[in-house]
Structure 1
Amino acid sequence: MPVKSPDSLSSARSKLTKTDRSFFQAPLTRLCCSIAVVAWLTVGSAWAESKQTQPNVVIVITDDQGYGDLSCHGNPILKTPQLDRLHSESVRLTDYHVAPTCSPTRAAFLTGHWTNRTGVWHTIMGRSMLRENEVTMGDVFSDAGYRTGMFGKWHLGDNFPYRPEDRGFQEVMRHGGGGVGQTPDVWDNAYFDGAYWHNSQITPVKGFCTDVFFDYATKFIRDSAEKKEPFLAYIATNAPHGPMHSPEEFSKPYVDQKENLANFYGMIANIDQNVGELRELLDELNISDNTIFIFTTDNGTSSGSKVFNDGMRGAKGSEYDGGHRVPFFVHWPEQGLDDGRDVDMITSYVDVLPTLIEMCGLTAPEKVKFDGVDISTLIQGGATEWPDRILVTDSQRVKDPIKWRKSAVMTDQWRLCNGKELYDINKDPGQKTNVAEQHPKVVARLTDFYDQWWDELLPTFKQSTAIHLGNPADNPARLTSHDWITTRMTPWNQSQVRAAMNGDANTGFWNVNITKPGTYEFRLRRWPTEIDKTISTAIPAGSGVPGARAFRETPGKAVSAVRANLRIAGKKQSAPLTPDQKEVSFKLKFAAPQTTKLWAEFQTKKDEIFGAYFVYVEYLGQ
C-alpha cells in the first residue's frame, strides 16, 4: 500500500478509539504494515539516541508457570518475594499472550514470527525444529557485536542446524529435547547431578538443574562485564515443567499440598531465589541500570490453576486465556522502566524481538518482515493511542496444522475461540458467556482476519524441517525417537523408551538432509551409547530423586529383535541380529545431496516392529 505521510498518519491515529479504529481493520499485510509505520514514526530512534552505551539484555523465561503462579498476582499459597520485587520495579504487560505450549512460544519469541510460520506447532514429531530460514534473536544480537548466551531449555531442535549454537548463540549450556529426562537428553538425567551440552560437548554437572543454568549464565555475565562487552543472556529454565522434582528446602514450605503441587511451587521458589541472586550480581557488577531485565513464561500453568488462575479459564494447552496469557515484566532503570507501571493494551510474543531491536539500537535483519511490532512506545509510556490490533494464537499439537484447531483470535476487547465462541474479555474475563450471536459483525471481522492469516501461512506448512547428515558440526548426528514424524505418539521421554512403549505407536521416520555425496554409516540402537548395553538387554530401574517419580525409575524392557531394517532414499538394508549385539551398522553411499525420509526399525520373530529409538549417522567420506 502507499506509505502515508506523517501528517496523515498522525491525523488518522488521533481519531482512533480503543474499540473502533476502522483504519486498522484491513487485510493482514496492511494491518501489520500500518502498525509498524505508526510505531516507527512515533518513536523514531529515540531509544538509540538517548543511551550512552548499548544496553545488556537478560531474559528469564520459565516453563509451565502461569500468570497466577506468582504471589504478586494474588496467589494465596506460593511466595515469590524476588519476583514480586521485580514486578514492583518493572513495566508490566498485563495482556501479553504466547502459545499454549512450549516450543511454539519459543519459536515466535525468538523470531518475531507467528509460530506456525516457523514450522514449530508441536513439541515433538519433528514439528519442534525451527526452520533454517528463520533469523533468531541470537543471530540479530550476535551480528550487532553482542556476546550471546543461551542457558537451559531450547526445545527447537537437537541436531544441526537447529541447535542454539547453530542459531547465533555463542555460549550454550542446555539439556536435550523439551525437558530434563526427555529422549534427546543425556541418558538418565533427572534434574539433579546430571550432564548437559556445554557448547556441544556433554558436560557432567553437580546440583539442581535450575541452579546449574543460572550458574553458567552468571559466569557468562561476569565475563562479559569484565570485558566491557554488551551481552544477551537468554535463561530458559525447564522448571517448573514436570516431572515434579524440587530441592527439598524449596518444596518443604508447601508440604501440606499434594506432592506434585508442592514440588511445582518448590521449583518456582527456587527460580525466585535465583532471579534475586542474579539481580544482586548485576548490582555488584555495576551494570544493572543499563541492563534490560525481562521475566516471562512460555504458556499457562500446568499445575496451579486449581489454586489460583487470576479468574481465567483454561491452563496449559488451552485456547482460552489461561492457556496463553502470561506474565511479562521489563526493567531498565536507565530509561525509567522501574516505576511499577502496567500496560494494558494487548501484546504478544511476536513483539519482543522487534521491540528489543529498537530499544537496543540494533539493525533489523534484511529481508525479514516481522509479524510482531515494536511496542517500545507502549512500554515507555509515550503512546496515548494505539491501534486495535488483532492477534492469533493456537494449540495445534498435530502432525499437520488444522484450521481453527484450539485457536483464539484476540483484540483488546474480544476473544474468538475455535471460530465459534465469542467472549467480551473486559466484561467476562473468565470466558463463561458466549456472545457470538449478539455480535455478528465482530465475529465476521475476526473471522476475516483469521481466514487471511491462515491462507497466508498455509503454503508454508509443507516446508518440513530436515535434520542435516554429514555436517562437520554434528558428525555423527544422534537421532532420537522424540523427532519421529508420525500420526501417532512418539516415545518422547526416557520412561517411554525404557518401557518400549507397548502398542502400535512404536515407529516413525526422520526427515533428513543428506548434505553431500559419499558414504554414510547408520548405527541402529535400542539404547544410547551412554549406557553401552545390548539390544536384548533389560535394564534395571534407576534411582529416584526428591519429588515425583523420575523417568529413569521405569525398568528398561528388552526388545527381542531378530532383524534390523533400514530404509532411506529408495535404498533398503536388512540384517539378522544376535543376542550379544549392541547395535546394527549399515553403510550406504549416496551420489548426490538430497532431502529424504529415514526409517530404522527392529523386527521380532512375531514380526512386531519397534523403531530404533537411537540412530547415529556418521559421514565417512567419498
Structure 2
Amino acid sequence: MKYRIQIFIFCCFLGLKTLSAQEQPNFIVIFTDDQGYEDLSCFGSNKLKTPNIDKMANEGMKLTSFYVASSVCSPSRAALLTGRMPKRVGVPGVLFPKKNEKGLSTEEITIAELLKEKNYATALVGKWHLGHDKKYLPLNQGFDSYFGIPYSNNMSIASGIDISPNIVFNDGYTLEKMHSDISRVEVESKKGPKNALKNKPPLMRGNQIVEYPTNQTTLTERYTNEAVSFIQKNKEKPFFLYLAHSFPHVPIFVGDKFKGSSGTTPYYDAVQEIDWSVGEVFKALKENGLDKNTIVIFTSDNGPNSHGSAKPLKGRKFDTYEGGQRVPAVFWAPNKIKQGVVSDEIVSSLDIFPTIAKYAGISMPKGRVFDGYDISKFLKGKSKKSPRKEMYFYGSNSTKIDGVRVGDWKYVINGYRKTSWRKLTKEDTKIKLFNLKENKSEAENVIDSNAKKAKQLLKQMTRYDANLEKDISKK
C-alpha cells in the first residue's frame, strides 16, 4: 500500500495521470471461425443482415485490409494471442485431437497473461484450438475461466482430458461409450490427423469435459450467455473477454430461432446468429455502464470455407491469396477509436497484442521478438497511416514462406494450396506479382513488366524469413 501511495505522489509531481481499476479499459475480442471477407452486410453481402456489427462499424472503424497471420485456425489463433508469427511460436499448422499432440508453449505470453500485470479478470468463451493437453489449456495460459470446445467443431474427443463427475451425456451416450470413443480415436489417430468420429467434440468448463457429445445447436446461444455473465460479474474491475465462436465452421449448426433467418443458407443463418450475439454483448455493456470504457474488436480467424464468400478477393481458407488471410474487421471504442472511419490501411491481428498493451498502460515484454505494431495512434485518428507497411504469408500447415505484401504490391509463390478438391494447374504454380490497389482480386499477374519490384520483394521476404529462423534457432 505504501508503495502504491509513493507511485501516486510521484506521478502527480510529474503531472502524469494514474488509472484506477474502473478507468482501465476493458477489452473484448470476438473471433469467428471461417468467416469470409464479404460475409457481413457492412462488407457488401446481400445474403444476410448483420445490423449489430454494421452499427459497430458505423460507430467505430472498419478495416478493409486487415490480415490474420495464417489461412488456417490454430496458427491464426496463436498469432492473435501472442503478437508473434505462428512459425515463431511453434504452431505453424492445425492441431488435432490425437495423443501427444503439442500446443502453444506456456513459455509464450498471451494477451491474458499480459493483462494480469494490471489485475484484469480474463475469460475465454468458445474455441481454443491451441492444445488439448492440460498444460496447454486456457487456464494455464492466463485465463481465469474457460467454457467451450477445445478445437474445431468437426473434430472428435481426445484422450487425456479430465472428465467432470457431473458430465452431461447427449444422444444416448454413457461413460462407457465415451471411453470407447476415446480408445477408438487413439487407434485411428495413428493413421493420420483425421478419424471416423468427426463432429463429436467435447464441451469443457475449466479443465474438465462437462458435456459429450456437445449439443452444437445451442452452442452460440450458450457462448453468448456465458460472455454476458462474465461481463456482469466483472463490471467493477477491468476485464479481457476472448469470445471465439465455433461457427460458421463446418458442420454448421444454428439455433432454432435463427434457422432459415437469412433466407439463403445455414452458413448465413449462423453468421446472423453471431450478429445477434454481438448485439447481446453490447447490450450487456450498456446495461452495466461499461460501453464508454470498453474496446471491442470483431474479426475472423481466416478466410471462408466452401460455404462462404471472400469476394471480391481471390482464394479462401488454406490459401495465401488475399481471400485466405484478408478478413472482415471492425474496431469499436467511444473516445478511444475514431468513429465512422473506413480505412484500407494494412493492419493485422498481430497488432492486437501490442495495441492492447498500450491502451492498458503495460510495457511490452522484454527478451522476445514481436511481429505486431502498436496501432493505437492510428485507431485514435492521430495518424492517418498504419505503422504496418507489410504482411508476410506462410503456407497453411507449413513453415515455408509463400509471399509478402508491401504497400500496394504483393509477391506470391504459391497462392493456392493443393488439396483433394483442387488440382493445381501450371498457371497456378507460377510466381506472381500483383498491384492490389489496381487489382484487388489478384486477377492480373504483372511480374513480367515489374521484374525489379518482384526482385525487391523476394529479397525482403527471404531476409525476413531468415531472421525469423535465426530467432527460432536461439531457443
Same topology, TM > 0.5: yes
**Alignment equivalent of 2:204, drawn from 177, 187, 197:** 197
- Partner-residue secondary structure (3-state), 2:113: helix
In 2, distance between residues paired with 1:318 and 1:180? 20
Pairwise CA distance, 1:277: 1.1
Pairwise CA distance, 1:287: 0.6
Task: Letter of the 2:219 partner, please give it.
Answer: C
2:469 counterpart of 1:455: no
2:256 counterpart of 1:245: no
- Partner-residue secondary structure (3-state), 1:438: coil
Provide the residue aligned with 1:374 in structure 2: 374
Is the Cα–Cα contact under 8 Å of residues 112 and 143 in structure 2 kept in the other structure? yes
**Alignment equivalent of 2:73, drawn from 97, 102, 110:** 102
Provide the residue aligned with 1:415 in structure 2: 410
CA RMSD between the two structures: 2.9
Provide the residue aligned with 2:357 in structure 1: 357
Provide the residue aligned with 1:312 in structure 2: 313
Pairwise CA distance, 1:149: 0.4
Aligned runs of 1:202-217 on 2, under 5 Å? 202-204=209-211, 208-217=218-227
**C-alpha deviations, 1:221-265, integer Å up to 9, x for none?**
11001xx1100000001111011222243231345x4xxxx2211
Is the Cα–Cα contact under 8 Å of residues 48 and 360 in structure 1 kept in the other structure? no
Provide the residue aligned with 2:3 in structure 1: none
Task: Letter of the 1:441 partner, please give it.
Answer: K
Is the Cα–Cα contact under 8 Å of residues 65 and 297 in structure 1 kept in the other structure? yes
Pairwise CA distance, 1:459: 5.3
Unaligned runs of 5+ in 1: 1-44, 465-622
Distance 1:462 1:366, change over 3 A: closer
- TM-score of the two chains, using structure 1 as the length reference: 0.61
State the percentage of identical aligned residues. 30
In 1, distance between residues paired with 2:348 and 2:101? 21
Is the Cα–Cα contact under 8 Å of residues 292 and 331 in structure 1 kept in the other structure? yes
Is the Cα–Cα contact under 8 Å of residues 68 and 304 in structure 1 kept in the other structure? no
Provide the residue aligned with 1:120 in structure 2: 91
Q: Report 1 or 2 for greater relative contact order, CA contacts < 8 Å, sequence distance ≥ 6.
A: 2
Task: Letter of the 1:332 partner, please give it.
Answer: A
Task: Letter of the 2:352 partner, please give it.
Answer: V
**C-alpha deviations, 1:528-547, integer Å up to 9, x for none?**
xxxxxxxxxxxxxxxxxxxx
Task: Letter of the 2:405 partner, please give it.
Answer: M
Pairwise CA distance, 1:163: 1.1
In 1, distance between residues paired with 2:438 and 2:18? 40
In 2, distance between residues paired with 1:162 and 1:316? 25
Greater shift after overlay, 280-289 or 156-165? Answer: 156-165
In 2, distance between residues paired with 1:111 and 1:213? 23
Provide the residue aligned with 1:164 in structure 2: 138
2:183 counterpart of 1:175: no
Unaligned runs of 5+ in 2: 1-14, 164-177, 182-196, 415-430
In 1, distance between residues paired with 2:325 and 2:135? 29
* Structure whose alpha-carbon radius of gyration is higher: 1
Between Structure 1 and Structure 2, how many residues are aligned?
404
Provide the residue aligned with 2:330 in structure 1: 329
Pairwise CA distance, 1:454: 1.7
Is the Cα–Cα contact under 8 Å of residues 299 and 327 in structure 2 kept in the other structure? yes
In 2, distance between residues paired with 1:49 and 1:200? 34
In 2, distance between residues paired with 1:127 and 1:461? 20
Pairwise CA distance, 1:339: 1.7
Provide the residue aligned with 2:339 in structure 1: 339
Distance 1:175 1:386, change over 3 A: closer
In 2, distance between residues paired with 1:215 and 1:315? 31
Pairwise CA distance, 1:304: 4.2
Distance 1:275 1:388, change over 3 A: closer
2:237 counterpart of 1:229: yes
**C-alpha deviations, 1:27-52, integer Å up to 9, x for none?**
xxxxxxxxxxxxxxxxxx99988998
- Partner-residue secondary structure (3-state), 2:234: helix
Pairwise CA distance, 1:202: 2.2
